[in-house]
Structure 1
Amino acid sequence: MEAIGQIIDPLSGYIRPITALIPEPVENIGVSLLGDKCYDTLIRKVDFVSSPDCVALAISRALGLGIVGMSSIVKVPQILKLVSSRSADGLSLVSFVLETIGYFISLSYGFRMNFPFTTFGETALIGIQNFVICFLILQYSGKKTLAALFFAAISSFVYILVDPTNAGYISDQQMTLLQGLTIPLSLFSKIPQVLTNYKNKSTGQLSAFSVINYLAGSLARVFTTFQEVNDPIILSSFVGATILNAILAIQLVLYWSNSTKPVSAEKKKK
């Protein structure tokens, strides 16, 4: 934090006249993200030395926004790869289904606990993309009826968890218990894909872009959760996810030369 202050402090006299011209609508967004005290310190006064807590909060919020932004496209390459190849070779349906359930539980938990959207917003975007991937895997595996049932089941599951009408389907206490279950769920969701990669000695149709961005996002999320949300359950789930995302990234490197060969074709040769 001191290093940031040392870099910006000599420039503060030049920056203040610029920040004074920030339009009110933009300023309101900044205040809503940082709070009036930290916005005044960091933006109006351009003081990055006297309040390290505000600097840490600003970094955390920036990372959170970056994660939410990246999450809007993080699985798109995987979806495009599936659609273009019309093949689900090397992809573990179990992994994606478990991961999807975990994301929607975390989304519902964050929503119902009134956490800042920047600390859980990506769960909605990635969850929806995962949902599409699961649907495509079933479609390209010739299981169209199961794909329709999956669509209906997940939609009902999310509605019950979020409970927009406050019907009391699941209490906050039960929601906390479910969130605790996302830790083993998150860990187990990655294991089938890791084992599939190891068995095939290939990552098949797994998107390198998605895996690398997943790893970067989970690392950043560990920081934002530690900084903004005093919840060891959430923090533990992101730490576990980071470890397994790192394993998937390592497999991408190890099996890179094998991943250009369709897994099904390799099996036919054998």
Structure 2
Amino acid sequence: MASPIIMIIKLLLDPDVSKKVILQMAWSQVKAIGIGKVVAALLGALTVGVSSFIRIPQIRKLLINSEQERISVANGLSLSSLSLDTLNSLVHASFNYQNKIPFIQYGESFLLGIQNAIIILLVNFYRSVDAGEVDKLEGLSCSDKLSTILGSLAKPLAVMIGSVIFFTKLAPSNVIAFLEILNIPISILAKFPQIKANYKLKTAKHLSGVVLKANVVGSLIRVYTSFTDYSTKKQRKKSTTDETILLAGYTTSLILNSILLGQSIVYDKLGKKEVEDEKKNE
């Protein structure tokens, strides 16, 4: 059966059907379901859609500008944070896939996991370049560049492929279910290494400002959708334990994402002030 939204769009495109009547019917349905619930569902779908490219600005920071700048970005990113985040995405996607949950419910994690994996590979490569373990790419032919990149990434690629095979094919469902329970606390813990690294470096230039802002907005959306589910179940006098846990987790995630964004803003201002002071001293 076609989606109600698709059906409405088809009716709106039909020249023999009154657009006003269709829109009135649609509005009546929205009010019957609940405006808050409809908005929450639309925001959830929007979050999944935006996730398909939300890490691209961070990936670009590792691909554009000079090689030295890429190395600087790679050294500023926390592999611990990225790895925990990617593990969470893999577990969450595996759990939902095994339980035949609609893709819209876990597509966000699946797409973020792929983008995180790309970032991890780039960070590993440029750290290897910085350590002198592989030759720099400047001046090399395309085939030599590809050979150098693949050679340096053999180990992390093997770990990633092995992890995907284990969690999707080998791991017992009860293990996946247990790790899924730990999804929120692990995602929260994943933020601390990057916060610590930013504090130590006194800069957050290695992080994409677009990604930081998007993470805060995404967390806000998840808090809203979780609160909507919580309120709905509470009104129906049903158990709200799961929703309370999710709401607490997403709220904590919002706080930590806000701290990362705050670090970016504060350190950026401090950096500009230092540059201005140096110019005045000159």
Global fold match (TM > 0.5)? yes
Greater C-alpha Rg: 2
Q: Which residue of 1 aligns with 2:28?
A: 47
Matched, 1:242 2:254: yes
Query: What is the alpha-carbon distance in structure 2 between the residues aligned to residue 96 and residue 54 of structure 1?
Result: 38
Matched, 1:128 2:118: no
The percentage of aligned residue pairs carrying the same residue is 32
| Residues 58/162 of structure 1: CA separation in 2 closer, same or farther (3 Å cut) | farther
Once the two structures are superposed, what CA deviation does each residue of 1:93-113 show, in whole Å capped at 9, x if it has no partner? 111111111111111122223
- 1:119, 1:221 within 8 Å by CA — same for their partners in 2? no
Matched, 1:254 2:260: no
- 1:48, 1:55 within 8 Å by CA — same for their partners in 2? no
Q: Which residue of 2 aligns with 1:191?
A: 192
Query: What is the alpha-carbon distance in structure 1 between the residues aligned to residue 227 and residue 81 of structure 2?
Result: 26
Matched, 1:116 2:122: no
Matched, 1:175 2:176: yes
Match 2:153 to one of 147, 160, 179: 147
Query: What is the alpha-carbon distance in structure 2 between the residues aligned to residue 140 and residue 43 of structure 1?
Result: 57
Once the two structures are superposed, what CA deviation does each residue of 1:116-146 show, in whole Å capped at 9, x if it has no partner? 3222211111110000001000000016666
Deviation at 1:152, TM superposition (A): 1.8
| Residues 86/56 of structure 1: CA separation in 2 closer, same or farther (3 Å cut) | same
| Residues 45/203 of structure 1: CA separation in 2 closer, same or farther (3 Å cut) | closer
Query: What is the alpha-carbon distance in structure 2 between the residues aligned to residue 259 and residue 72 of structure 1?
Result: 32
Deviation at 1:212, TM superposition (A): 0.8
Q: Which residue of 1 aligns with 2:5?
A: none
Deviation at 1:21, TM superposition (A): 2.9
Query: What is the alpha-carbon distance in structure 2 between the residues aligned to residue 225 and residue 256 of structure 1?
Result: 33
Matched, 1:103 2:89: yes
Q: Which residue of 2 aligns with 1:86?
A: 70
Q: Which residue of 2 aligns with 1:58?
A: 38
**Counterpart residue identity of residue 61, structure 1:** A
Query: What is the alpha-carbon distance in structure 2 between the residues aligned to residue 225 and residue 119 of structure 1?
Result: 13
Q: Unaligned stretches of 5+ in structure 1?
A: 1-17, 25-40, 164-168, 261-270
Deviation at 1:210, TM superposition (A): 0.6
Query: What is the alpha-carbon distance in structure 1 between the residues aligned to residue 204 and residue 271 of structure 2?
Result: 5
- 1:107, 1:121 within 8 Å by CA — same for their partners in 2? yes
| Residues 159/55 of structure 1: CA separation in 2 closer, same or farther (3 Å cut) | farther
Query: What is the alpha-carbon distance in structure 2 between the residues aligned to residue 224 and residue 107 of structure 1?
Result: 19
